[in-house]
Chain A
Amino acid sequence: MNLNAFWEYANPKKFIQTADWLLPWFAGLAAVTLVSGLIWGFFFTPADYRQGSTVKIIYLHVPSALMAINAWLMMLVTSLIWIVRRHHVSALAARAAAPVGMVMTLIALVTGAIWGQPMWGTWWAWDPRLTSFLILFLFYLGYIALWEAIENDDTAADLTSILCLVGSVFALLSRYAVNFWNQGLHQGASLSLDKEENVADVFWYPLLVCMAGFVFLFIALVLMRTRTEIRARRMRALLARERMGA
């Protein structure tokens, strides 16, 4: 791939054009895969012999948990791009992704709690995975709050991207700390893409469709929200210039 062509999308105008063109596709894909995946999972999969029908929660729990982490990784990458190459689109994409990631974390936490209630007999356990996600949620909160608190766009982009880098290191540290602190009830990462032997095919295929659906949903939302942020930024710049001129 030609790298220079890639950086063209760092031009806000070009990005908006591309996003305008891509958005309906991704939105459509997200709608189709999500609806079909969830319907497949909900209506046409058998109950697990051990977990009963609660196994159906997996089609929401695992994809949202996956996206909660991937959203943070995406923010990390875009923050780095902002720090190194100073493309506004990159910083604004990180800003746009944060609330989506936070909602994904929340979905993972809530479905996890609802699932844990019948399976473990408790809504919440201070299990390493649960705790890590709670901490991840707090990181999202702080990150979003910092964006909202700073008025100057460039300052906000700089500070939040540094916070994202430092936060990533500490989030990783917390993950290990929490692991050390309490070995928990949660099963291991039974569902990573390379370890499918833990899951029977009947559950695996609809789960894949749901994961694809969440990925498309995330892409569509981030495209739309980045477009919004670019426009909002341009509006603020125009208004500021007008005030200066008046």
Chain B
Amino acid sequence: MMPDLGKYAEAVLSSYAVSILMIVVLVMLSVRRSNRVKKELQEVESKVKSNG
């Protein structure tokens, strides 16, 4: 299944690996921060409500 990349296999594979890794990290960080902020906001909102 693997296409024949010839002598440039290293360059092609490494650029795919690096780019995909960077995209995945960016997505993961965004999702994690999204979830964390969502949870924290809910906590703060419930606290504010119970106080007021």
Contact = CB atoms under 8 A, between A and B. Distances in A.
Contact of A224 (B1, B3, B12, B30): B30
A38 B34 CA distance: 27
B23 A103 contact: yes
B interface: dominant SS: helix
A130 interface: no
A110 B30 contact: no
Interface residues of A, number: 39
A217 B48 CA distance: 36
Given A57-B11, A114-B11, A242-B48, A52 B6 contact: yes
Interface in A36-77: 38, 42-44, 47, 52-54, 56-57, 60-61, 64
A147 interface: no
A21 B47 CA distance: 27
Interface stretch (A159-167, A170-178, A226-234): A226-234
A239 interface: yes
